[in-house]
């Protein structure tokens, strides 16, 4: 039997950066709520997704920009390492699927 841990994020793109042979995309998932006056208070949580597959990297670089709404799914892996004598815990979100849902609305 195969086992795995999977994630799914729908959110707005923040930064897009190349790191070695990978592409890392920060995505904000919105967990806002209404305050006591009924006004919506934004509360974004940022997650960085790493794309390893060359064909998906090429597509994302040509089609995705900050502010776009995307859907991504993939596997997640927790790791730990020692840095400056301290244990550091990390989670890698490795995107298998990466899709554009809506381009950022143009202003003006």
Question: What average pLDDT values come out for the chain (108 residues) when binned by 10 residues?
Answer: 91 96 95 82 90 95 96 94 94 95 78
**Residue pLDDT, tens place only, 59-78:** 999 999 999 999 999 999 99
Give the dihedral sign, CA 13/99/58/62: negative
Q: What percentage of the chain carries pLDDT values higher than 70? A: 97
Q: Are 23 and 16 in contact (CB under 8 A)?
A: yes
Angle at 89 between CA 78 and CA 68, to 5 degrees: 65
Is 0.95 topped by the overall pTM? no
Task: Return the pLDDT at 106.
Answer: 66
């Amino acid at each position: 039997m195969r086992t795995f841990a999977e994630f799914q994020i729908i959110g707005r793109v923040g930064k897009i950066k190349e790191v070695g042979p990978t592409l890392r995309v920060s995505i904000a998932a919105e967990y806002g709520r209404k305050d006591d006056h009924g006004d919506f208070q934004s509360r974004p949580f940022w997650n960085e997704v790493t794309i390893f597959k060359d064909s998906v990297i090429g597509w994302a670089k040509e089609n995705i920009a900050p502010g776009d709404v995307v859907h991504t799914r993939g596997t997640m892996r927790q790791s730990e390492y020692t840095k400056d004598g301290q244990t550091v815990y990390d989670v890698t979100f490795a995107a298998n699927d990466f899709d554009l849902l809506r381009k950022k609305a143009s202003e003006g």
